[in-house]
Amino acid sequence: MTKPQNTAFKRSDTGQPILKTSRLILLKRMWKYLGHYRKLLMLAMLLLVLTNALSLVGPKLSGLAIDAIGIKKGQANFERVFLFSSLMAISYIGSAFFSYLLNRVTVKLTRNTTYKMRKDVFDKLVSLPVGFFDQHQAGDLISVLSYDVDTVNESLSTDFLQILNSVLTVTVSLVFMLTIQPLLVSIFAVTVPLTIIYTRWITKRTKPMFRRRSAKLGELNGFMEEMISGQKTTKVYGREDEVIREFDDINAQAVEAYTTSEYYGTMVGPSVNFINNMSLAVISVFGSLLFLAGRVGLGDISSFIQYSRKFSGPINETASILGELQSAFAAAERVFKLIDQKEEKPDAENAHRLNQVNGDVALQHINFSYLPGKPIIQNFNMHAKPGSLTAIVGQTGAGKTTLINLLMRFYDIDSGQILVDSQDIYHLTRESLRKAFTMVLQDSWLFYGTVFENIAYSKPNASKEEVENVARTAKMHSFITKLPKGYDTMIGDDGVPISKGQKQLLTIARAMLSDAPMLILDEATSNVDTQTERQIQAAMRELMAGRTAFVIAHRLSTIENADNILVMEDGNIVEQGQHAELMNKNGFYARLYKAQFEVS
């Protein structure tokens, strides 16, 4: 089956997404997540103001205490020194207390916004069409759900409050410095613009680097997920060295992208700090000259220097934060692109539920293509009577699985009509249509849980007796009772290991338990031995009496008793009929059958 290439997260050779979103739009969308928790945000801002107010009073009190000491022996007013020192201690203790409360609130705010964003991303993933997952690596999506969401939210709450703190500190410090000695403030007229110019230059340069870093980490996660899930195949074909070389290459690119972005990102803080230290040196020199000239007191110089550090410190921190924001913007771009993916088309306004299903299925003049201009199925027609078993065979890429995808509305047809009980499936709700089917896929899927929970997945309210009955029919009851805890044994990741064939038998038992009137089997018995396969076929035929079944078969021996066999080639039915009839024709089906069993 030919599928379209990844377009939603497509990247250029540099690893950058082709589609870009402006930082202003990203910032507005990020801000909305904070807006969901306004009370916490307002509390954090109040604590921030209190913390800074008490902290910024300290330098002024320090200066007053120094002036109270005096510069000559015997001039000290210890009562005033003790008063200002006590007030300074109280202000700093109060600032530390409110800072502690602020950190607690910030952690809670970050936790809530992370939960909200991750839930939105996961809800989006659940609502996306199957075609989306056919086009994207699972590891890359997991990277968005974990790393990118964390990166955005760490920056969203912490950095926002830090920037607000910086603005408040810089503003108040500037006011205090102007009241002390406006002449010294003029020094910042040179250093601040220099800092801004440098920060803008380095930020513009690092933005694509952080975007590329997120992309490369996503690629690395995708590759690791593929290799871990396919490690047995890698060992069977002895491709360990090739896999290691490919991993080394991808890992090197990810490390290089990470190192480059961090290198330039961490340059901002030290560089701005150097500029600020130069301004402090100049302030010390000119402050000393003004003191000698009698234009400023010693306490004022001390206060001014402390305020100048508070003034320049946030500028330095803001410069570093801007570097972190580039990483956050790159991550947010990936998160919101995923959130913005188109969900499955909504049901038609007049859509109704499919009830009391007989299982009469007809496909009339179906045309379908994954990509425009590249048809997969052309003018396809088929009719499956209620309770019949329809087998679909053909070479790889003939369109067998595509046909099942269309029946389940995982993809929408280009033209034609699909009918269930003479009702167009596009006039039915997706939920009721899909609940009318149960599926057993070639790739068995079990989750971490008990044997009972895995079988009962298709019928959550199933009784123990019902589960045991289908397990017996699927020839699994004896095996299950020998497990450490029987039906309560945990399987899946970190659970009791079971063979691939046993996993497939469990998924078959799960399908048997379903009340769905129609069944789809995508080579469901490919992982069991021939004797068990025959037993399962007989059991399923008995179980499916009165139900409509569609079987995609690669092993033609499994569908010899099918009511109708559709032989597909290049999206078209080239032959159809029962096994004996098709063999007598000595056509395409007969050649496939003889090729499998080497019959001359």
Q: What are phi and psi of 573, to 5 degrees?
A: -85, 115
Residue 368, strand partner residues: 377
Asked if pLDDT for residue 29 goes beyond 60, the answer is yes
pLDDT band at 101 (very low <50, low <70, confident <90, very high): very high
Contact between residue 527 and residue 501 where contact means Cβ atoms under 8 Å apart: yes
Give me the mean pLDDT over the 7-11 stretch.
Answer: 41
- CA-nearest of 128, 154, 139, 161 to 51 is 161
Residue 415, strand partner residues: 367
Decide if domain 444-514 falls under CATH 3.40.50.300. Answer: yes
Give me the mean pLDDT over the 425-438 stretch.
Answer: 89
The pLDDT tens digits of the residues spanning 245-283 come to 888 888 888 888 888 887 777 776 677 777 777 777 777
- CA-nearest of 319, 323, 23, 326 to 197 is 319
- CA-nearest of 160, 55, 146 to 106 is 160
Asked if pLDDT for residue 420 goes beyond 80, the answer is yes
CA gap 286, 293 in Å, rounded? 10
Q: Of the ranges 69-73, 309-313, 540-544, which is most confident?
A: 309-313
Q: Is 529 helix (H, G, I), strand (E, B) or coil?
A: coil
- CA-nearest of 421, 418, 414 to 404 is 418
- CA-nearest of 155, 188, 184, 154 to 170 is 188
Strands 449-450 and 490-491: antiparallel
Contact between residue 265 and residue 326 where contact means Cβ atoms under 8 Å apart: yes
Arch. (CATH architecture) of 23-339: Up-down Bundle (1.20)
| Predicted local distance difference test score (pLDDT) of residue 43 | 93
Give me the mean pLDDT over the 304-318 stretch.
Answer: 73
Q: Pick 187 or 533 by higher pLDDT.
A: 187
Asked if pLDDT for residue 7 goes beyond 50, the answer is no
- The domain limits of the chain are 23-339, 350-436+516-600, 444-514
* Positive/negative CA dihedral, 347, 350, 355, 358: negative
Residue 126, strand partner residues: none
Give me the mean pLDDT over the 324-353 stretch.
Answer: 85
Give me the mean pLDDT over the 317-329 stretch.
Answer: 72
CA gap 587, 568 in Å, rounded? 12
The pLDDT tens digits of the residues spanning 488-523 come to 998 865 556 777 777 878 888 888 888 788 888 876
Contact between residue 389 and residue 466 where contact means Cβ atoms under 8 Å apart: no
Q: Pick 355 or 543 by higher pLDDT.
A: 355
Single-letter amino acid code for the residue at 232 = K
The token duo for 347 is 């049901």
Asked if pLDDT for residue 465 goes beyond 80, the answer is yes
Give me the mean pLDDT over the 319-346 stretch.
Answer: 81
The token duo for 210 is 């952080």
The token duo for 149 is 């969401």
CA distances from 286 to 184, 279, 289, 296, 404 (A): 7, 11, 5, 11, 82
Q: What is the CA radius of gyration of the chain?
A: 35
Alpha helices by DSSP H, listed for 451-546, are: 451-455, 464-473, 477-481, 500-513, 530-543
Asked if pLDDT for residue 600 goes beyond 50, the answer is no
Give me the mean pLDDT over the 575-593 stretch.
Answer: 88
Single-letter amino acid code for the residue at 190 = V
CA gap 91, 153 in Å, rounded? 32
Weakest-pLDDT range from 91-100, 233-242, 562-571: 233-242
| b/e 419-434 (16+ beta carbons within 10 angstroms → b) | ebbeeebbebbbebbb
* Positive/negative CA dihedral, 487, 492, 494, 496: positive
The token duo for 417 is 């009509």
| Predicted local distance difference test score (pLDDT) of residue 8 | 40
CA gap 329, 323 in Å, rounded? 10
Residue 423, strand partner residues: 420
Q: Pick 461 or 206 by higher pLDDT.
A: 461
Weakest-pLDDT range from 232-241, 328-337, 363-372, 402-411: 232-241
| Predicted local distance difference test score (pLDDT) of residue 18 | 34
Asked if pLDDT for residue 17 goes beyond 50, the answer is no
* Positive/negative CA dihedral, 35, 36, 38, 44: negative
Asked if pLDDT for residue 541 goes beyond 50, the answer is yes
Give me the mean pLDDT over the 451-470 stretch.
Answer: 88
Weakest-pLDDT range from 245-259, 350-364, 527-541: 527-541
| Predicted local distance difference test score (pLDDT) of residue 434 | 87
The pLDDT tens digits of the residues spanning 145-182 come to 888 888 888 777 777 778 788 888 888 888 888 887 78
Asked if pLDDT for residue 15 goes beyond 50, the answer is no
| Predicted local distance difference test score (pLDDT) of residue 595 | 79
Is 444-514 in the same CATH topology as 350-436+516-600?
A: yes
Classify domain 350-436+516-600 at the CATH topology level: Rossmann fold (3.40.50)
Helix-then-strand count for the chain, H and E: 21, 12
| Predicted local distance difference test score (pLDDT) of residue 232 | 56
Contact between residue 414 and residue 495 where contact means Cβ atoms under 8 Å apart: no
Contact between residue 399 and residue 1 where contact means Cβ atoms under 8 Å apart: yes
Residue 200, strand partner residues: none
Weakest-pLDDT range from 113-122, 138-147, 322-331, 378-387: 322-331
Contact between residue 500 and residue 524 where contact means Cβ atoms under 8 Å apart: no
- CA-nearest of 311, 206, 215, 339 to 267 is 206
| Predicted local distance difference test score (pLDDT) of residue 524 | 60
User: In the chain, what's the furthest Cα-to-Cα distance?
Assistant: 124
Helix 38-69 and helix 298-339: axis angle, to 10°?
Answer: 160
Asked if pLDDT for residue 478 goes beyond 80, the answer is yes
| Predicted local distance difference test score (pLDDT) of residue 94 | 92
